[in-house]
Structure 1
Amino acid sequence: MTRALSWARLRRRRLWSEIAIVLGLSLGASAVYSIVSIIARLTAETALADQTATINGSLNPREWLDGTYQVLAIVFALVPVALVFYLLAISGGNPFRRLGFDLRAPWRDLGRGLLLMLVIGVPGIALYFAGRAAGITVDVVPAPLDTFWWTTPVLILSALRAALQEELIVVGYLFTRLRQLGWQKWRIILSTAVLRGSYHLYQGIGPFVGNVVMGVVFGWCYWRWGRTMPLVVAHWIIDILSFVGYAWAVANLPALFG
């Protein structure tokens, strides 16, 4: 009994250490920086509504270097996702099937993803503008890249990077490990939803609330379906519309209404 108890405690410590390492290399670090960012924003002389948050910013004034840095940033941001699959693989079983990230049910996953996109995407836009009106959300600039031949493909890849990172780490991986640690359904859903909201705090209080709601909905769906693929599809489409749609509007609306 004592040996079994010691082994259980050792296993729990190892799981918590693993979770800390994975999050420290990925979205946990983003959450910490985001919390510091919102503190800095709230204590600045400029009102929150008059501040700007930039996503997908240019990384170099020279076109070929900017494109190179953009692709490298996307590739290396996905290394923690590869780490998650590796850790799940060595703990037993097929990690892709375990997280429901495969092509066993492509049309059902696509349909569910589109449904989630509508349920989350449209209210999310409304919540953003409501937050801007209330002064609790900064002006988010999702795609301030200069327009080059590679701009749209890079923005699509950036959207995919965000979808893979968030849904496979925060939902798929964390749900798996926290269940192994004995956490119950709603404790897992709510804690991961708060984590999702926390690494969006740099955008203001409104996006924090919106992403917590998104985390609750996505978490409940994953618990019910056991598949991350619909979540990745929904997240990818939402971010493509945000990134590419914004870039298109900046490039074309002045000409249309000028």
Structure 2
Amino acid sequence: MLLASRRRLRAEVLIVLGLSLGQSAVYSVVQLLDKMTRAPLSEATSTLNRSQSTREYFDLTYQLLDILFALVPVVLVFYFLSLHASGGSAFARLGFNFARPGKDALQGLGLAAAIGIPSLGLYAAGRALGITTAIIPSGLDTYWWTVPVLVLSAIRHGIVEEVIVVGYLLDRLGKFGWSTAAAIVVSALLRGSYHLYQGFGPFIGNVVMGLVFAWLYTKTKRVMPLVIAHALLDIVAFVGFSLFGKAVGLG
């Protein structure tokens, strides 16, 4: 019975990752190879939040649909967790709730500051070494809805990555009998792998970020501060570039 249960959990994890960040990791590796075989990485670009139509309201529709459907695997995660919840909700199990909004917000803000500033230095170093592509955080045209959509996109990334790669994955790897250290390393490597399309610098930076985030989660058992920190980092990058990037010659 125990063996059958572990097999079912392995299938469950593969399904979740295959529909979400595991799939992104595979595409990221292929995209990296594509860029490396075309030109040096220093000459390549990685554009986030791409425009999907030259027609304003079709572009808005595509952006909102992308955000909506990206969250479906998160819903699937909580569905799977709820099937075996022994008292209490699946949301409370991962600490994805508003049980302590003030403390979560302060921890998220502090974590964003601690991660964000070194990330800028790592990006600059990666560009200087030629191992990081030029990253364009927003390729959207300027409309009335551009900033709200970028904020929603940032929140989406925070929820999807932290819930799946940290909360859910560590929970399931623990049930497989993995040590905490091994689970943290696997979580961090997965995080780095789906950023490989940006180059080796972002891979390294995201692995380090993954180690810190996963370690903190094992101490607090709350994913919400991580979601807040991740969302804040992306909001600053996406919205900041959209508002000021081109004006200062970064675009």
Corresponding residue number in structure 2 for 1:69: 62
Report how many aligned residue pairs link the two structures: 247
Q: In 2, Cα distance between the equivalents of 1:250 and 1:34?
A: 25
Amino acid at match of 1:244: V
User: Please, what TM-score do these two structures have when normalized by structure 2?
Assistant: 0.96
Corresponding residue number in structure 1 for 2:83: 90
Corresponding residue number in structure 1 for 2:11: 17
The 5 Å alignment of 1:153-232 reads 153-232=148-227
- Secondary structure (helix, strand or coil) at the match of 2:135 reads strand
Matched, 1:52 2:49: no
Matched, 1:33 2:22: no
Change (3 A) 1:208 1:251: closer
RMSD across aligned positions (CA): 1.0
Q: In 2, Cα distance between the equivalents of 1:62 and 1:251?
A: 21
Matched, 1:115 2:88: no
Bigger radius of gyration? 1
Deviates more, 1:245-254 or 1:87-96: 245-254
**Unpaired runs of at least 5, structure 2:** none
Amino acid at match of 2:32: I
Deviations 1:204-233 (A, max 9, x none): 000000000000000000000110000000
Corresponding residue number in structure 1 for 2:123: 128
Kindly, what percent of the aligned residue pairs are identical?
Answer: 53
Q: In 2, Cα distance between the equivalents of 1:131 and 1:252?
A: 23
Shift of 1:97: 0.3
Shift of 1:250: 3.5
**Unpaired runs of at least 5, structure 1:** 1-6
Shift of 1:253: 4.1
Q: In 1, Cα distance between the equivalents of 2:58 and 2:93?
A: 39
- Secondary structure (helix, strand or coil) at the match of 1:53 reads strand
Amino acid at match of 1:167: E
Deviations 1:28-56 (A, max 9, x none): 00000001111222222x11100011100
Amino acid at match of 2:30: V
Corresponding residue number in structure 2 for 1:42: 36
Corresponding residue number in structure 2 for 1:4: none
Q: In 2, Cα distance between the equivalents of 1:114 and 1:61?
A: 36
Structure 1 runs (4+) deviating above 3 angstroms are 250-254
Q: In 2, Cα distance between the equivalents of 1:36 and 1:65?
A: 29
Amino acid at match of 2:83: I
Q: In 2, Cα distance between the equivalents of 1:29 and 1:251?
A: 32
Q: In 1, Cα distance between the equivalents of 2:84 and 2:120?
A: 40
Shift of 1:114: 1.0
Corresponding residue number in structure 1 for 2:99: 104
